[in-house]
């Protein structure tokens, strides 16, 4: 069996009837729960520490997932800060009977490493080495910069809201 790098994780789950919504497709909430578990497993394995979810960005449900399909979650640490990590997850659905595979979902989790007292704790720096890893890291840096700029503008607008015209 081919071994993934310590900053990568793959998990495959069979979609069962208890995961269905009223239209008979897999409920988005069931997928979100699995995504959070995958992000936790990938981040905690890489950091060697307990991690918590700080945010979830750009959850894109590209295609519905059907009960009976095998769903593979492909996770990767894309970027590390001091105590935080961006975990990118690609969701691939496989129709076993038709032997077809499709990209069903993608998203980005920001996970933060914490110690036994719940305080943030450093994570090992990521050293991207392949062209894909370098591309993912650059894209994660850009997303982080955009998120910080949006937070800055939001805070600025919030402080203005309390001013008299």
Strands lying side by side in the sheet with 8-14: 8-14, 70-80, 84-95, 100-114, 50-61
Residue 84 β-bridge partners: 112
Tokens of 47: 């950091």
8 A C-beta contact, residue 23 and residue 56: no
8 A C-beta contact, residue 109 and residue 35: yes
Statement: residue 69 has pLDDT above 90: yes
pLDDT band at 2 (very low <50, low <70, confident <90, very high): low
Confidence at residue 164, expressed as pLDDT on a 0 to 100 scale: 58
Confidence at residue 112, expressed as pLDDT on a 0 to 100 scale: 96
SS3 80: strand
pLDDT in tens, 92-145: 999 999 999 999 999 999 999 999 999 999 999 999 999 999 999 999 999 888
8 A C-beta contact, residue 17 and residue 67: yes
Confidence at residue 40, expressed as pLDDT on a 0 to 100 scale: 98
SS3 39: helix
Statement: residue 163 has pLDDT above 70: no
SS3 7: coil
Confidence at residue 157, expressed as pLDDT on a 0 to 100 scale: 85
Tokens of 45: 């394995």
Tokens of 106: 């993608």
Statement: residue 1 has pLDDT above 50: no
**What does pLDDT average to over the chain?**
91
Q: Which of 34, 95, 96 is nearest to 64 (CA)?
A: 95
Q: Which of 61, 86, 83 is nearest to 75 (CA)?
A: 86
pLDDT in tens, 73-95: 999 999 999 999 999 999 999 99
Tokens of 145: 């910069």
Statement: residue 151 has pLDDT above 90: no
CA triple 133-138-144, angle to 5 deg:
125
Statement: residue 26 has pLDDT above 80: yes
Instruction: Report all structural domains of the chain as residue ranges with CATH numbers, in order of start.
Output: 8-125 (3.10.129.10)
């Amino acid at each position: 069996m081919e071994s993934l790098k310590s900053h990568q994780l793959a998990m495959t789950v069979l979609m069962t009837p208890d995961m269905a919504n009223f239209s008979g497709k897999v409920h988005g909430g069931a997928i979100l729960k699995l995504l959070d578990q995958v992000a936790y497993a990938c981040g905690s394995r890489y950091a060697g520490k307990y991690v918590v979810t700080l945010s979830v960005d750009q959850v894109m449900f590209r295609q519905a997932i059907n009960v009976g399909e095998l769903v593979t979650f492909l996770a990767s640490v894309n970027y590390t800060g001091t105590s935080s990590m961006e975990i990118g997850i690609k969701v691939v659905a496989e129709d076993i009977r038709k032997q077809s595979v499709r990209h069903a979902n993608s998203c980005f989790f920001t996970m933060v490493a914490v110690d036994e007292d719940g305080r943030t704790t450093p994570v090992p720096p990521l050293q991207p080495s392949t062209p894909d890893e370098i591309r993912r890291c650059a894209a994660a840096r850009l997303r982080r910069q955009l998120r910080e700029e949006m937070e800055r503008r939001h805070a600025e607008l919030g402080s203005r809201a309390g001013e008299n015209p």
